[in-house]
Structures are given as structure tokens and as C-alpha cells.
Amino acid sequence: MTSFQFKTTNGAYPVNVNINPSSTEHRPNQALIDKASKTTIIFLNALGVPLRKYSKFINGLTEKGFTVISTDYPNCGENTPHIKRGIDYGYDELVNHFVHNLVQIAKDHTPDNDIVLIGHSLGGHLGTIYSAIHNVPVIGIACGSTHYKSWKGRGRIRILLAVAVIQALIRVYGFLPGYKIGLGEREAKTMMQEWCETALTGKFDYITQPLDTDKGHGLYINIEGDKFAPMLSTWKLAQMCSRSKVIQVTLDDDLIGNPHGVWIKRPEIVINAVCDNLDF
């Protein structure tokens, strides 16, 4: 484990980072081992999902031969102090400081490896923005554009209702108590305000670097039946990359729950999709 200080305008906070080395005890095919052993994955969580929930996914990746670098978001999960009024940051700080520090850690720890960002939901948004700026490859899982026009029918209404509720809660609490509405845990005020801005406009004007750079290299894994990130929204997010590929996977029928998040309980299908498309 290593750590760094996440710097915001209001202070600096420690971020503990896990470095999970590759393990090929189960001996998948040799060609995959050769490719995976030369790849370091930086994993970015979904909104409000603590890193411990992804243990099967991370272990599955290391068993394929990848090195995986992972952490909770600043002031979330194992990183304390937790979000409260006065502890705040936005997308720009997450992209340009949080993700960028993880990339530097990957370069320092595995200097000869290729680096790939893998993000679930919000993590896919952050990885896509970083890829559009720095051209680091990104794999987005169950993620998509939050712009309401990227949705159809009731999906548009749900997004707009979510924006109204989030904005009201932020005004009262000074942060988002996501646990009150089933949307994560404690989330930073500015980040969620910017999430709402993108949901209404489709733009990322709060990112300080230009995003129309003709960069970005992405693979997007849509999960059939995912109403939180339907295929249309996935396609819209993928368009932020100059080169992108979108595929769809179907979960086992006996895996009951919202496809958007339940895949982490049995992640083999998603892991196989990652391995089968490493040359995206």
C-alpha cells in the first residue's frame, strides 16, 4: 500500500492506495498471461460504492495476470475524514489530481507496463475525461452519459427528477447524503452540482483542459437491462473518445438485482469481456 495527499482549495486529505500484484495461480492461457503481465489497471469505483465491494473483481483481474491499483475516492470508504459540510471537491480535482496521482503511482511501480483505466459508472466518466485529455486507454463498465437527452422516455424524467432532488439536498446539507435516496453515501457538494450540470447540458465546462483534443481511446461494456446506463447513454459517452468500441454483455439469469451494480457479485462475465477485448 502507498498513499498521497489529495489537495483541494479547502485542505489536503490522505488517500490510501492498494497495489495488487498479478497472480497467475489458476494459469489462464499463456497469451493472455503475457499480455496481462505487461498491463497495469487503475480501477475507479462507482459513486458511493466502497472499494471492498469490488474484491472479487480485483482478485479476478490479478488472477488473469494484471497488476491492479485501486482506492476509495477521497474522503470516502477507508479514506478519512469523510465528506461533510466544508470538505469539498469537483470533477476537475478528481481528474487532474486524484486520477493523475494514481497514474503516476502506476508508472512508478510498474514502469515497463502499459496503463489502462477501468471505471464503473462514475469511474467510467472520470476515466473517459482523463483519456480525452491524456490519451490513456479507458475501459468503462456500466457507464454512460448522464445528459437527459441521452435517455429515452421515462429515463429522461428520472434523470431530471434526480437533478431536482440532489440540488435540494445539497442546499440543505452542504453535501449530498446519498444514503437518503439510495445514491451512494456522502458525496462532495461541487462534484454532485457538476454531475447535475452535465445531466442538464451534456457539457463538462468545469474541466479546465479542453476535451475536444482528438484524443481518447475507450472500450465500453454495456450490461443488458441496465436502466442506469442504457445503451444510448453508453454510446454518447463513448463519443468523447476519438477511438472507441462498445460491446454488450448479458448477466446470468439467476443473478438477481439491478444489472448496473449486481455484476460485481459475480464479475467473471465482465472480466472475460475485458480479457477478450484487450486490443481495443
Cell of 153: 422516455
What's the confidence (pLDDT) of residue 40?
97
What's the confidence (pLDDT) of residue 30?
64
Angle, CA of 34, 40 and 43, to the nearest 5°: 135
How many Cβ atoms sit within 10 Å of the Cβ of residue 245? 15
What's the confidence (pLDDT) of residue 142?
98
Among 145, 102, 149, 155, CA closest to 240: 145
The kind and range of the H/E element at 158 are helix 154-173
Strand ranges of the sheet holding 138-141, from the earlier edge strand across to the other edge: 2-8, 11-20, 67-70, 39-44, 114-120, 138-141, 217-223, 243-249
What pairs with residue 136 in β-bridges? none
pLDDT tens over the chain, length 280 residues: 899 999 998 889 999 999 999 886 655 566 666 788 899 999 999 998 999 999 999 999 999 999 999 999 999 999 999 999 999 999 999 999 999 999 999 999 999 999 999 999 999 999 999 999 999 999 999 999 999 999 888 889 999 999 999 999 999 999 999 989 888 889 999 999 999 999 999 999 999 998 888 899 999 999 999 999 999 999 999 999 999 999 999 999 999 999 999 999 999 999 999 999 988 8
60-93 tens-digit pLDDT: 999 999 999 999 999 999 999 999 999 999 999 9
What's the confidence (pLDDT) of residue 32?
65
231-269 tens-digit pLDDT: 999 999 999 999 999 999 999 999 999 999 999 999 999
- Cα dihedral 277, 131, 47, 140, rounded to 10, equals -20
Q: Look up residue 60 and give its amino acid.
A: G
CB 74 within 8 A of CB 18: no
pTM summary value: 0.95
Residue 196: which residues within 8 A CB-CB, separation 6 or more? Answer: 163, 166, 167
Pairwise CA distance, residues 88 & 75, whole Å:
9
What phi-psi label fits residue 8: left (phi over 0), alpha (psi between -120 and 50 degrees) or beta?
beta
Among 120, 141, 127, 100, CA closest to 17: 100
What's the confidence (pLDDT) of residue 23?
80
Pairwise CA distance, residues 8 & 266, whole Å:
36
